[in-house]
Amino acid sequence: MIVLINWDSKLSENVKAVPPSGIRKFFDIAQTMKGVISLGVGEPDYAAPDKVIESCIHSLEKKETSYTSNWGLLELRREIAKTFATRYQLKYRAENEILITVGVSEAINTIMQALLNPGDEVLIPDPAYLAYPACVKLASGIPVLVPTECENEFKLTVEELEAAVTDKTKILLIGYPNNPTGTVMDKESLKKIAVFAEKHDLIVISDEIYCDLTYDDNHTCFASLPNMKERTIVLNGFSKSYAMTGLRIGYACGPAEVMQSVCKVHQYSMLCAPVTGQYGAITALRDCKEEVEAMYNEYHTRREIVYNAIIGMGLPVFKPKGAFYIFPDISSTGLSDEEFCDKLLHEEQVAVVPGSCFGKQGLDHVRISYASSRDNLKEAMNRMARFVKKYQG
C-alpha cells in the first residue's frame, strides 16, 4: 500500500515563508529555449584565471584532499588579513577573526543563524540581493525592508532607516556595490549610516563581494569608518572579481567574540570550505592582479555599451557605479516587470530578471547583467530596442 505523506504539513514554517528564487525561474525557462541570450544570472562569463586553475590542479596532484581547519587554511586567512591591512589599514587576526566560508552565500546564512533569535529585526535596503531577506527568515528573524528610491540612485538614507528602526532591530544588512541596481554609496553617506548604526547599537553586516568592481569612486570598506570595526562583519569572496563562482570560496571578517559563534554554526553545518578552492583563492590574492584588472576593464566598456543602448531606447536609467548590473525603468512600455521579462524572452529570446524579485521598490524595473560578451550584449540590446519600441507604441 502506498502511503501518501502530506509534506506541506511536515515542512518548516520558516522554509514555507521563503519564496523560490525569481532569478532561477527565468533562467530555467531560458535554458529550455533555443537562441536565447541570457543576461539573467549574475555570474561572470569568464573562467577563473589560469594561475588559479593551475594551483587547484597542483593541490590535487599533491593529494591535498582533506578537511582543512574549520576556520579555513591559515595561509589563506593570512593572505586575506594582509589584503585588509594594505587596502584599508584594517587589522584582522588571521587566527580568530577571519572565517573562510562556502561562498558569501554561506556566510550570510551562517551569520544569521549565529546572531538571530525569533522576532529579531534586520534592516535591509529595498531593492537588494534576494538571499538577504530569505536567510533572515530561515533564521526566524524578521526582514524589515527599507525603501530606496530610483530618483536618488537607490541610495540608502538615514531618514528611511530612522523610519524603519524599532527596539527589536538587531542588524543592518547592506551590500554595496549593490545587486541589482549597481548603486555605490559614497564615503560621506556611509559615514552617516555608521553614526545611525552606533546610535541604535546595531550590528552591521556589509557584503562587499563587488568591491573590486567600482567604476567611478574607490570602494569604502564599511569597517574602516570611525568606530565601525567593532560592530561590523565584512563579507567578501572570490566568485565575482576572480570569476571563481563554482569554487565556492568566501569569507567573513569580524570581532573575535562574534566570530567564535559564527564559526560554531559553520563547523556543525559545513565543517570547512572546499580545500581545492581555498588553494585557488591563495593564488588569486597573491598573483592575479592583472587578470582581475583585465576583467574589470572589460566590464567597464560593457557598461558603456549597455547604458548607451538603454538611453537610446528612451528608458529612464541611471548609470551604474559598480558591480555588473543595470536597472532600467520599463514602465513606459505599459508592461509590468514580470510581463516584460516573459514577453522579451518569448518574443526576442533575451532573458533578463524582473526587478520585483529584489523587493517592492524594484517593481517596474528589470535587472540586466552585463557579464556577457560585447557581441552578445550588442545583439541583445538590438532585440530589446525593437521590443521596447513595439510596446511603447
Contact positions vs ligand PLP (CB under 6 A): 42, 103-105, 129, 175, 179, 207, 209, 237, 239, 245, 250
Buried b (16+ CB within 10 A) or exposed e, 171-189: bbbbbbbbbbbbbbbeeeb
Distance between CA atoms of residues 385 and 314, nearest Å = 9
Q: Which is nearer to ligand PLP, 124 or 306 (CB)?
A: 124
Specify the length of the chain in residues: 393
Tell me which residue of 384, 360, 361 sits closest to 372, measured CA to CA. Answer: 384
Distance between CA atoms of residues 156 and 158, nearest Å = 7
Least CB distance from residue 8 to ligand PLP, whole Å?
29
Helix, strand, coil percentages for the chain (3-state, nearest 5):
50, 15, 40
Q: Which is nearer to ligand PLP, 245 or 331 (CB)?
A: 245
Least CB distance from residue 319 to ligand PLP, whole Å?
19
DSSP 94-123: TTTSEEEESHHHHHHHHHHHHH--TT-EEE
Q: Which is nearer to ligand PLP, 272 or 313 (CB)?
A: 272
Amino acid (one-letter) located at 343:
K
- Cell 560592530 sits at which residue? 231
Q: Which is nearer to ligand PLP, 104 or 281 (CB)?
A: 104
Least CB distance from residue 357 to ligand PLP, whole Å?
12
Q: Which is nearer to ligand PLP, 176 or 307 (CB)?
A: 176
Least CB distance from residue 259 to ligand PLP, whole Å?
18
Least CB distance from residue 20 to ligand PLP, whole Å?
16
Distance between CA atoms of residues 148 and 160, nearest Å = 8
Pairing of β 203-207 and β 232-237: parallel
Distance between CA atoms of residues 108 and 281, nearest Å = 19
Residue 268 burial by Cβ neighbours in a 10 Å radius (0-12, 13-18, 19+): exposed
Q: Which is nearer to ligand PLP, 215 or 391 (CB)?
A: 215
Least CB distance from residue 99 to ligand PLP, whole Å?
13
- Cell 567593532 sits at which residue? 230
Q: Which is nearer to ligand PLP, 56 or 313 (CB)?
A: 56
Q: Which is nearer to ligand PLP, 352 or 388 (CB)?
A: 352
> Which residue minimizes CB distance to ligand PLP?
103
Least CB distance from residue 34 to ligand PLP, whole Å?
26
Amino acid (one-letter) located at 172:
L
DSSP 36-84: -EE--S---SSPPPHHHHHHHHHHHHTT--S---TT--HHHHHHHHHHH
Least CB distance from residue 288 to ligand PLP, whole Å?
17
